[in-house]
Amino acid sequence: MEVEEELPASADLTGGSKQATTTTPFYLALDHTASATSSPPPAAPLPCAANSERGSEIIKAKIMSHPLYPAVLRAFIDCRKVGAPPEIVGRLSALADDVEMNSDDKQEQRRAADPELDQFMEIYCHMLVRYRQELTRPIQEADEFFRSMEAQIDAFSLLGDYV
């Protein structure tokens, strides 16, 4: 339900003169007063925005320090390798190996248990593994199809030699 409270245009909302007696919808009058000021007051940073950024950084740090982070990252990299050119696959594999080597050192620094984060990391890792499988399935099916076609063509060419 839209509120259209009529205000007389002569109401001194814009600081102008009281010349006209037409009516303006309330929502337009409020919008007009906001845009009528020559320079808006400087916006102070919202405390919730700073807290949100800080909270986001804390969450990122918790995720990156979690013992399952290397497995999640490995699963993500494996997804990226599906269908990639060989040189990219090699670079991604080297990156994953580097991450795993660096994570072995940090594995000893297990933070306090966070059951929600543990569950999230397990589920996300599992989801990425299944996603890679789903990405790989059409490529495997196409590969099988082309192999069967190649075998049929080879069979036809062998028959042609005997005729």
Stretches in the chain below the pLDDT threshold 70: 1-50, 104-112, 160-163
pLDDT at res. 73? 93
Q: What is the pTM of this model?
A: 0.58
| β-strands 23-25, 6-8 pairing | antiparallel
H or E stretch including 6? strand 6-8
pLDDT at res. 114? 87
pLDDT at res. 46? 54
User: 3-state secondary structure string, 132-155?
Assistant: HHHHHHHHHHHHHHHHHHHHHHHH
Residue 144 three-state SS: helix
Domain ranges in the chain are 6-36, 63-162
pLDDT at res. 100? 77
pLDDT at res. 49? 63
pLDDT at res. 141? 95
